[in-house]
Amino acid sequence: MKVNHHALELEQNYLFSEIAKRLRAFQKENPERELLKLSIGDVTRPLSRVVTDAMKAAAEDMSHAETFHGYGAEQGELFLREAIAGYYAKRGTTIDADDIFISDGAKNDLGNICDLFDSDNTVLLPNPVYPVYFDTSIMSGRKVVFISGTKENGFLPMPDETIAADIIYLCSPNNPTGAVYSKAQLAEWIAYANKNNAVILFDSAYEAYIRDPELPHSIYEIPGAETCAIEINSLSKTAGFTGVRCGWTIVPKTLQFDGASLHQMWFRRTATKYNGCSYIIQRAAAAVFSEEGLAAVREDVNYYMENAAIIKKAMNEAGIMSTGGENAPYVWFEAPKGMSSWECFDKLLQEFGIAGTPGEGFGNAGKGWMRFSSFGTRETVQKAAAVLNQLK
Ligand SMILES: *Cc1c(COP(=O)(O)O)cnc(C)c1O
């Protein structure tokens, strides 16, 4: 037997184990000091009551022969697909419930969707970005090219006609920079993809954090996306589902490549390798889209975005310019005085007891930058803000 040698090409994730190691050492050396984690990439607020009530009711359904559910529909239950289509419709975007596939989270499908594409395709990735796109492309043996997000382009790299790409991952709002593409910018990406016969994989996991009414939440808000884009989203960051697991992937029937329908291919692939998100979780997910559920989402988002505003205010007072944090739960800033990401990480930790995330963990274009997350508790964020203004 030969192993998949591409899987051996993955770099060990030194960064996150190195962060954990340094935080452990800090706590051991300073048992009396509180560690303020602005490095957290997971939500902290609990599920809303309407969601857990739906979960309990669905669990009850399962204990009666009349309402018991075995294997579900291949694409996910219609009640949830219709609820998601209704969520898009509220913003004026028409999505056919039949084009939606329910998943157990975005990360899985961000990798799995590449089952549809030849391994001889070139993948184009923004840099810095969520590391999953790179790792999954490497594991499947695909060539990867990068376009850099920089201070100059506002961390929103645009298409370059001199780069030939077949598969393009876009993450908007971006993790880690918090940057969000405008409609005009996405229109350029769509034009590039349609012209070059490329597919866009659009990760909208943070769309619920967008506050500027001009910014697009979905790539399908822009004409032309229906012939080049797949959208992947999840309830993880929107409704606290990181430990519950539910997401969706939209594969429009209008996507035709090489004379094949990506929708049909994805349906076939899903039916082959996946037996669906559990009925109980799909009921819980549908409750997120109820009036009460969406009100709870707004409350959670407001809470985290207030955290982001507190962090940004403290940064401003310290004279450190930051980006992000206005339409995304991440604040992104350049390490002051030419410090490297790691020097800044150590200074924040040793002097202020604050944990941040070095930007280079998201690609080499993140070197010299740091990410703060606003997913902590208000108390943590306030304590961090009270000392951050001394960071120089
Ligand atoms: C957290 C996150 C996701 C969500 O992943 P799940 O598997 O749904 O929990 C997707 N994309 C990005 C960029 C993320 O940061």
User: Per-residue confidence of the chain (392 residues) as pLDDT tens digits?
Assistant: 999 999 999 887 777 888 999 999 999 999 999 999 999 889 999 999 999 999 999 999 999 999 999 999 999 999 999 999 999 999 999 999 999 999 999 999 999 999 999 999 999 999 999 999 999 999 999 999 999 999 999 999 999 999 999 999 999 999 999 999 999 999 999 999 999 999 999 999 999 999 999 999 999 999 999 999 999 999 999 999 999 999 999 999 999 999 999 999 999 999 999 999 999 999 999 999 999 999 999 999 999 999 999 999 999 999 999 999 999 999 999 999 999 999 999 999 999 999 999 999 999 999 999 999 999 999 999 999 999 878 76
- Which token pair is 294? 């969406």
Ligand 1 shell residues, CB under 6 Å: 105-107, 130, 171, 175, 203, 205, 234, 236-237, 242, 247
Mutate to test the pocket of ligand 1, among 232, 234, 235, 374 (most ligand atoms within 8 A of CB): 234
CB within 8 Å of 9: residues ≥ 6 apart: 138, 139
Return the number of other C-beta atoms located less than 10 Å from residue 72's C-beta. Answer: 16
pLDDT attached to residue 212: 98
pLDDT attached to residue 40: 86
Q: Which residues pair with 101 in a beta bridge?
A: 249
Q: Which atom of ligand 1 is closest in space to residue 174's alpha carbon?
A: 13
Ligand 1 centroid from CA 225, angstroms: 22
Ligand 1 centroid from CA 242, angstroms: 8
CB-based burial label for 289 (10 Å; 0-12, 13-18, 19+): buried
Backbone angles phi, psi at 359, to 5 degrees: -60, -25
Establish whether the linkage from the previous residue to 223 is cis, with ω within 30° of 0.
Answer: no
Ligand 1 centroid from CA 98, angstroms: 23
For ligand 1, atom 12, which residue shows the shortest CA distance? 205
Residue 259 CA: distances (Å) to CA of 95, 133, 231, 254: 23, 26, 21, 11
pLDDT attached to residue 15: 79
Q: Quick one: DSSP state of residue 223? A: T
Ligand 1 centroid from CA 350, angstroms: 30
Rounded Cα distance between 161 and 177, Å, is 24
For ligand 1, atom 11, which residue shows the shortest CA distance? 205
The length of the chain is 392
pLDDT attached to residue 391: 78
Ligand 1 centroid from CA 205, angstroms: 6
pLDDT attached to residue 16: 81
Q: Quickly tell me which residue has 């370059």 as its tokens.
A: 160
